Structure formats: structure tokens, C-alpha cells
Structure 1
Amino acid sequence: MEPIVGILDTTLAVIFTWVTYKTGQYIYKYTPYSYPNARIKAMEAKLLSEQKFNELAESRTLQNFVVNLEDTDYKDYLADVSSYSIEEIERALERALAGTYGLMFKILPKRSRGFFELLLEGWDVRNIANVVKAKLANESASDYIVELGTMLPKVKAMAEAKTLEEILVILEGTPYEDVYQKLLLGEIDVTKFETELYRMYYAKLLAYAKSRKDEERAILEEFVRLLVDRVNILTALRAKKAGLSAEEIKPMLIPGGTVKLDSLLHVDSFDMALAELDSTKYGPVIRDVREEIEKDLSVLEKAFSDYIIERISELERFYPLSIATPLSYILRKEREMRKLRAIAKLIENGVKPERIKELVGEVA
């Protein structure tokens, strides 16, 4: 009996160890998302409805627009608005989005915060590119700054710089120093400069996604590749519309996407380029808005944005306790801010409410 008892004890010990390990693994992977995802779900219920956007479109003045947001989460950010200028309102909306990112850093598991920090860096890239392009065009660079990102003070200093060489000093020690120096030396033009900024950014996003494990890697990697596909397809189509050759377009594309665009680059017309995309996974997205795309390519940008949000929402349903939930929310919140900014600008320009409703529905 003693050998049998020993075997049973060993077997039970192995089973207990395995169960403990699997339980610990489950707790590590899923439990940290229980509280933040429940809180985010409650926040999702407060995202503005189409009815609310229509109400805001009826505001007619920027003061009424602000008043109509007093029953929303934007109230505190708009409290200091006094002159009701478009600039003041836009800054308040940008602070609200920055507050959303700040909340994510506060409530999400430590291992997930890094990706949202990288998403914020995307605003750095956008701001740097916009400031440099404005400086080269002798325009007011501060008008093109969005009050978001991890290096906003540097970006604002760049906008105030008296010379292009002064910007190089400001960027010293940042990842963007070398590529800006190449622009200053005339080794690359401003288009190549912007492309290089985004190549660096998406490479960093993809590297982070690949460093994750299991479903977190699957979610983040798919998300990043979706972003790269969107950028590349829109870039290629814009270039085709402008009559650029394959050799001119290739350097503009970002590595890391899932769609091969070689055949598209070599076709003779914009219509043929659209036809080439028919057989890709984005075919249905393009077919739904094909006629509109031929008149206005921004329609496809909105269709892509909606598709990405829809896809992340599908992953969220499949992985309810995962990074998909905060990612889906931040995408929706960014879209909401873009719509609010668009409504405010259209009101300032005196556009009629019915037309505002139409135009805001087209915002990506």
C-alpha cells in the first residue's frame, strides 16, 4: 500500500501545482483588467450620442455650443472658457482628451500603460511635423499645435524658435534630432522628413506590440498593422490621384502593413488603383463608399477609422478582460473630440445647422 499511497500523493501534488500555476496565470492575465475595464464601460455610456451631436450642431454660436456641453464630461474643461473663441474651445477639448489619457495611465495595469504612452507620442510626431512644415512655409507654427503629447513644452518652443537651426537645439537628445538634421542639411525634403518621423513611430509601436504575450500581442499587433495599412493605402491613393509614379510613391510607404501594394503602384489611374484593392481584406470597406471616394478621398479615411474601431470592438467582445477595452474607448474618445472640434469650427464659420450635421457625419 505504501508505494500506491506515495504515487497518489505525488500525483495529487503535481495536479495541485499545475492548478495553482494555471490559476496564478489566469489571475495575472485577467484580474488587473477587472476594475479598469468596468470603469471604462461606465465611461463608454457617457460618450456623446448622434442626437447630442445634432443638438450641438443647432447651437449657432460658440457660446451656445459651450453651454450645450455643460451636461457632459467636458463641463470642467470648458469652465475657464470666457471669450468663446475657437482657439480657447479647441484647447479645452484637447485638455479633455489629455485628461482621458491621464486616467488611463492611472487605472490601467502597469504592464499596459506603455502602449498608451506610445499613442501619446503619436501626437508628438504630428506636432513636430506640423510645426516644421509651418516654419518652412513661413506660417504661424503655433496655430498647428495640438495640446497633446509627451513633449509639448519642446513643441511649443519649436513654434517660437526664430530660426530652423534653433529647432535643432530644441530637438537635441530626442529620437527626432538626426532626421531633422538631415532636413536642415538638405539630405531629405520635408515630405521625406515627415515620412521618416512616422516610420520611426510605427516601428516603435510594432516593436512594443511584438514584445507582449498571448492575446495582448495579438490585439496590439493587429491594431498597429491596421494603422499602417490605413496610412499606406491612403498615401498610395492620394499619390495616384496626383499622378505620381511607383518609384515616387514607394519611399512614402511605412513598413509593417499587411497589404502588398506593388500592383496598385504600377496601375495607370486612380480607378484602377481602387480596383486593385478590391481583392484585399479592405475590399468591402472600399466598395461601401466607392462612389464617394472618387469625389472625396477623406470619405475613405472615415471608413477606415470606423473599420478599425469596429475591429477592436470585435476583439474586445472576444477578449473582454484585455487591453482591447481601453484601446476601443480611446479611439472612440479621439473621434468624439474630432467631431466636436469640427462642429465648433463650422459654427464659427457661420455654416447652417443642417449642413453641419451632414459634414460632421463625415468626420473620421
Structure 2
Amino acid sequence: MEPGAVSGILDTTLAVVFTWVGYKTARIVWKYTPYSYPNARIKAMEAKLLSEQRFNELAESRTLQNFVVGLEDTDYKDYLSDVSGYTLGEIERALEKALAGTYELMVKILPKRVSPFFKLMLEEWDVRNVANVVKAKLSGEPASDYVIEIGSMLPKVRAMADAKTMEEILVILEGTPYEEPYQRLILGEISAKEFETELYRMHYGKLLGYALSKKDDERIILEEFVRLRIDRINLLTVLRAKAAGMPAEAIRPLLIPGGTVKLEPLMHVEDLSMALAELDSTKYGKVIRDVRDEVERDLSALERALERHILERLNELNRFYPLSVAAPLSYILQKEREVRKLRAIAKLIEDGVHPERIKELVGDVA
């Protein structure tokens, strides 16, 4: 072969190799670099999460005013600054706003290719508000007491709370995703519980659709996160229904599509104990076995166990994909747990529970 031909082949080969290396390098940079800053920031935020010792100190507050003062050196300070009457309602609303603020921060600091997922997650407050107001109206309670001052639909939700008739609410919801299920509700085609389930079906359908639109590790992580949350809701729904003796045909309309567990066998067993036994062969078998005795007495024990399981799984994904969306999702779960514990402490303080008992009870909160 002529030297010139050999040289040409080598040049072409080197060009191909360098092009491939350049592509792979650019791909790695595109994939991981955008997570460097937000994940470093999240690490710093994790260091500021409240310790068990701090929860125990807050349990000693004895009054809600002292409880609020005890949080003055934390990130909750700004959210609690408007609390003046030191009522449980005021404190719970402030803590809700703090949690929503965490979601909003994720929208701002995460790469644009995943930040819309956290914006979609914020819509859960719209779902809760719409469902809460409608249920309050149906039961004749003051709907404004159930409005959470969070969400893109807040003006409409306030108008719904002030509405004089159920038909007026339909006009307010016109053009929103919630118009059609609400119309079915006032026509008597679905129950209030089925209406609420429909709102959550729509919400989780959006989240799952977004997750499935992603690629590579982002799809793996987001999809697993959504399906785990759907499983948690569905398992608790079925088990509570079996504890109440509900038949399968009454349970089916209350389930959310998209989970990973086959629920049909659970719905046809006779009682809660048999439903738990049926779950033993699923991927949640170990989770349930660890708390089986408690669950037989109190299903909230399973709720806590499932929350822990989801967090543990996200932490595993975070270790496997260190620069990814797993870190912000893990932090969100930790923040949700922190807010649940704070709300529980505040409620127990208001109820006059002894500090030592508060520590015991709150220690069980997932």
C-alpha cells in the first residue's frame, strides 16, 4: 500500500476517534455539569436539616409561642414571621409555605430539562385546594378554613370558597383541567371521594408522562420516584378499604393508574390480614413484614414505613447517580419528613401532651 494511502487511513481513523471522544466528552459535560451547582447547594441544605436532638428540644416548648421562637434560627424563620396569634392553623400554614418554597427553589436552581417536573409537583397544592374546598362545600363547612395559601390557582380557589352555589364553582373552574370531573360530581355521576381521586389521577398522570418523556438516568429516577409514590397511595387506599370491609367494586374507582403492584388480588381478599399476606410476595413484602404487627393495629405504621422505603430507594439512586435529579428528590423527601414532624409536635403541644410523650410519638413519624 502506498505511504500516502496509509497516512490517509490513519488520519481518517484519528479523526473518527477524536470526533467520538469529543462527542462523548460533550455528552458527559452536558449530562452532569448542570447538576454540579444545585447538588452542592442541596448538600449544604441537607446539613441544615433539623437533628433528632433539635426535635426533642422543640418537644420541650410547652407552648406554641415557644415552639415558634425555637425555630427562629432556622430556615423557617421568614415563613413564621407572620405568625401573630400563635395558633396551630397559622403555624401549619407557615410550614406548608416553607415546604412549597423548597419546591420553588428546585424549579429555580435545577437544569431546565428537569425543573418543570418540580413545577408540576407544586400543582399538588392546587389539587388539594380544589378538593378541600369542594368537600367543605358539600359538608356545609366554611370552605375558606380549608384553603392553603399556595398554588397557581389560588385566586380561583378563593373565589370557589366564596361561591354561593355549587353551580357557581363550575363557572369558576371553566377552562381548567378540573372542570370535567367537577361537572360529573354535581351531576351525581361520581362521589366526592371519586372526584378527589380523579384530581390525583390527573396530577400523577402529568408527573408520570413527564418522567417517561425523559432519557437515560433522568427517566429512570423520575419514573421510579413517581411509581413509588403511586404505589404508596394505592396500597394505603386498598388496605384501609379492606379494613373497612369495602368490596372490590367500591375500591377500584379510588385507585391511581401507574403503580407497579398488581392490586386486583388484594381487592378480592376478605380482610386486612389477608391483604397483608397477599402483599408478602411483592417487592413491598419486606417493608410490610418489618412492621406487620403494628400495621394490624394502626395503618399509619405502614404509611411511615412506605415513606422510609421511598427515601431509602432515592438515596440508593443518589449513590448510583451522584450528579443527577436523585439528590433534589431525596432532599424533597427529607424536607417533607421534617415538616411532618414539626406539624406533629405543634399539634401535640396544642393538645397539652407531656414533652416526654411528644418525643416518643414524634420519633415514630416517618
Over the aligned positions, Cα root-mean-square deviation in angstroms equals 1.3
Secondary structure of 1:82 counterpart: coil
Identify which of 95, 98, 101 aligns with 2:97: 95
Secondary structure of 1:111 counterpart: coil
- How many residues of Structure 1 are paired with residues of Structure 2 in the alignment? 364
Structure 1 residues 148-163: aligned runs within 5 Å:
148-163=150-165
Amino acid at match of 1:43: M
TM-score after normalising by structure 1:
0.97
Q: What residue in structure 2 maps to residue 41 of structure 1? A: 43
TM-score after normalising by structure 2:
0.96
1:194 paired to 2:196: yes
1:14 paired to 2:30: no
The C-alpha deviation readout for 1:63-111, integer Å capped at 9, x for no partner, is 1101111121112222232222222222222222222222212211111
1:221 paired to 2:247: no
Tell me whether 124-133 or 93-102 shows the greater mean CA deviation: 93-102
Alpha-carbon distance, 1:31 to partner? 0.3
Give the Cα–Cα distance (whole angstroms) in 1 for the partners of residues 13 and 246 of structure 2: 69
Amino acid at match of 2:134: V
Give the Cα–Cα distance (whole angstroms) in 2 for the partners of residues 172 and 35 of structure 1: 41
Amino acid at match of 1:344: A
Alpha-carbon distance, 1:344 to partner? 1.1
Question: Does the 8 A contact of 2:88 with 2:347 survive in 1?
Answer: yes
The C-alpha deviation readout for 1:161-210, integer Å capped at 9, x for no partner, is 22211211221111111110111111111121111111111111111110
Give the Cα–Cα distance (whole angstroms) in 1 for the partners of residues 144 and 313 of structure 2: 35
1:256 paired to 2:258: yes
Amino acid at match of 1:291: D
Q: What residue in structure 2 maps to residue 136 of structure 1? A: 138
Tell me whether 280-289 or 85-94 shows the greater mean CA deviation: 85-94
Structure 1 residues 169-188: aligned runs within 5 Å:
169-188=171-190
The C-alpha deviation readout for 1:93-140, integer Å capped at 9, x for no partner, is 222222222221221111111110111112211221121111101112
Aligned residues with identical type, % of pairs: 74
Question: Does the 8 A contact of 2:132 with 2:147 survive in 1?
Answer: yes
Give the Cα–Cα distance (whole angstroms) in 2 for the partners of residues 229 and 213 of structure 1: 23
Give the Cα–Cα distance (whole angstroms) in 1 for the partners of residues 92 and 304 of structure 2: 21
Structure 1 runs not aligned, ≥5 long: none
Identify which of 123, 126, 130 aligns with 1:124: 126
Structure 1 residues 68-107: aligned runs within 5 Å:
68-107=70-109
Alpha-carbon distance, 1:362 to partner? 3.1
Alpha-carbon distance, 1:141 to partner? 1.9
Amino acid at match of 1:200: M
Give the Cα–Cα distance (whole angstroms) in 1 for the partners of residues 82 and 154 of structure 2: 21
Question: Does the 8 A contact of 2:104 with 2:118 survive in 1?
Answer: no
Alpha-carbon distance, 1:354 to partner? 1.6
Structure 2 runs not aligned, ≥5 long: none
Q: What residue in structure 1 maps to residue 302 of structure 2? A: 300
Alpha-carbon distance, 1:318 to partner? 0.6
Give the Cα–Cα distance (whole angstroms) in 1 for the partners of residues 109 and 218 of structure 2: 17
Give the Cα–Cα distance (whole angstroms) in 1 for the partners of residues 195 and 80 of structure 2: 36
Tell me whether 95-104 or 128-137 shows the greater mean CA deviation: 95-104
Secondary structure of 2:73 counterpart: coil
Tell me whether 261-270 or 310-319 shows the greater mean CA deviation: 261-270
The C-alpha deviation readout for 1:309-340, integer Å capped at 9, x for no partner, is 11111101110100010111111112211211
The verdict on how the C-alpha distance between 1:80 and 1:249 changes in structure 2, with shifts beyond 3 A counting, is closer
Tell me whether 13-22 or 160-169 shows the greater mean CA deviation: 160-169
Moved over 6 A (4+): none
